[in-house]
Amino acid sequence: MDGWDHCKFRVPLKNPEGNDSSTKKVHDSFWKSFEKPPNPVELLIKQDTDRKASLSLSSPEERLESKVLVVYTGGTIGMEYNEQGVLAPSTKPLNDKIRGNPLLHDKHYEVKTEEDDILVLPRVKDKKRVLYKVVEYTPLLDSSNMCQADWVKMSNHVKEYYERFDGFVILHGTDTLCYTASALSFMLENLGKPVVVTGSQISIFQITSDGVYNFLGALIFAGNYDIPEVTVYFNNKLTRGNRTVKMSVTEFDAFDSPNCPLLGKVGLTIDINMKSIHRSSQIKKFSVHNELCQNVGLLRIYPDISKQTIRSFMQQPMEGVVLLTYGSGNFPTNRSDLIEELKLACDRDVIIVSCSQCSRGGTSGTYETGKILTNIGIINGHDMTPEAALTKLSYVLSNTELSLQDKKDMMAANIRGELSTNLEHRDEDDLASTVAKSLHISGDQEVDKLKKILYPAILQSAVREGDIDKIKDMQNYGAELSMTDFDGRNILHTACSAGKLNVVQYCLESGVSVHTRDNYNISPLHEAIIADQHDIIKLLRKCGAHLTNEPMFLGDVLTNAAARGMVRRLESYLLAGVNLNQIDSIGLTPLHAAITNNQIDCVKFLLLQQVDARIKNKFGQTALDLGKRVQNNEINKLLGDTYLCGIEQREQ
């Protein structure tokens, strides 16, 4: 064992007095230990139709769950042919259609959650069971009718449900899907959870639809993978939202990411490109920037474009323009009249960004015909897509706290993975290849498996030593700090449990997610609570870390801590944002438990936190009633003083 009791919510092997030799398990009546899950080798979708699944099954593969919110905005995926013979939003609730599809809902799985209208995906091998809830817009929209107000609505939906769900799927029409995905990538600031946008070329109501598999894949990615950015899933490919472009109106393979590697791909296995995932490196909570500038536009340069066209396009109230130039950012140098109009616009503080009309590659200023734009103040957009450049302009220009130069600098910088950087990396295979040779291992797949074993082990060792330099060395060898071991733990888990505040700080600044839960459903915040690391809890909370357990389960661990006199543990839960009035599975509050077990220090602490002493247990007893039963004078005096103080406050 590694010093932990491996149960549903792991508890350190020590008693309230701090004697680490004690191995007593608590709440044996409802915490059941279970075996470690098998090593993940591949992910295959498997539907269980021969038995009823339950949260009480002994296999951890069956017990682990994640919750995904689905925001259904409209689009082809939910359309049907109307009386005029054209596709229009269906009058049938999508929820009902999904319930009847065994690929999208396992009707035999017993759901135990406080959320209503929950659907369940069939089991995915070695991964969490995905539970999901569909929120349907009224009215449903064709994506051609989407506007900035709809992006704000979607963003606010993510914000509203952010702490209740592990991931988000947005069902959207394909025509403006890239604009929405790009806009959301900027509006959702310090995002720590996956947001996957998808749709279909054929309605989900038709038998040949690609919508079922797009929806299925989006749910799996949103519910199981640490990819904390806005992505697009379509035709077995996961791409970065602000790097995605629509390439076809007729093919299932409708979207591509020409200038950015795929983030994931689904085949016989699900392959994730961990190196390409963009992570927030700011120690801030998730927030939504829901104000966008509407005074932006796209202007495509073409032969013989007139001076009057550019002049009229650049007039007030225009604040930002994406200029679609030839090739690598070229512009006709023999048109001094056009260049003069662009310069006048720049002098009026219109921010102009040059992007290529070509899908692959970007603007570089290699040729004289491109350099001239830089000389008059036009920003090089590099390999941004037009959709990303336009929505980024709208986002940046809406920030009134930034100066004009700050806005220009931000447009030229990579803030959400929307443009490529030219950073050089050390050969990441040096270490793994050297070890592989000594073990006579060959082949890319075998070396990759070795890295998944070797790198997390070395990183975990460095964390326990608090050696950040060694962690940085491993990064130079290609180790991703978000890599997990076979227990699903990353180095942030270990740093929190070991009390290494400096390592926790470095992990957060490097973009390691505070929301990742291991194979035992434990998050880094859980680890910090169990280890009573208050400074670490405060730091994690600054990043938006929160507990995802059902309230009654939190009640169980709170009453257990109170019954054992663990004041510091109660403080840990309080710092983590837990309500100390929460009742447990048998109707007790922590105050009830502390009084019943004569834990005076806990009673004092809870009363100082102004917990509600009037809450009744299932026998109708308040804390004051229980105090009389235990006949402890000190506890009764504390309760009596609190009761009288409460009466005085109410009278005032």
Q: Which residues are catalytic?
A: 76
SS3 label, residue 270: strand
Sequence letter at residue 438 = S
For residue 171, the tally of other CB atoms under 10 A from its CB is 28
Contact indicator for 307, 294 with CB cutoff of 8 Å: no
CA 249, 250, 251, 252 torsion: positive or negative?
A: positive
Report the 3 state secondary structure along 98-167: HHCCCCCCCCCCCCCCCCCCEEECCCECCCCEEEEEEEEEEEEECHHHCCHHHHHHHHHHHHHHCCCCCE
Q: What's the number of CA atoms in the CB half-sphere (13 Å) around residue 575? A: 22
| Angle (nearest 5°) at CA 133 between 132 and 139 | 140
Report the 3 state secondary structure along 393-438: HHHHHCCCCCCHHHHHHHHHCCCCCCCCCCCCCCCCCHHHHHHHHH
For residue 334, the tally of other CB atoms under 10 A from its CB is 8
| 598 phi/psi in degrees, rounded to 5 | 55, 40
| 644 phi/psi in degrees, rounded to 5 | -65, -40
Spell 559-593 as b/e; 16+ CB within 10 A means b. bbbbbbbbbebbbbbbbbebbbbbbbeebbbbbbb
Structure tokens at 82: 């109307």
Task: Write the CB contacts of 76 (distance below 8 Å, at least 6 apart in sequence).
Answer: 87, 173, 174, 199, 200, 201, 202, 203, 211
Structure tokens at 326: 């030839």
Task: Work out the angle between the directed axes of helices 567-575 and 534-542 (0-180°, nearest 10).
Answer: 10
Locus of tokens 């042919």: 81
Q: What is the DSSP secondary-structure string of 465-505?
A: HT-HHHHHHHHHTT--TT---TTS--HHHHHHHHT-HHHHH
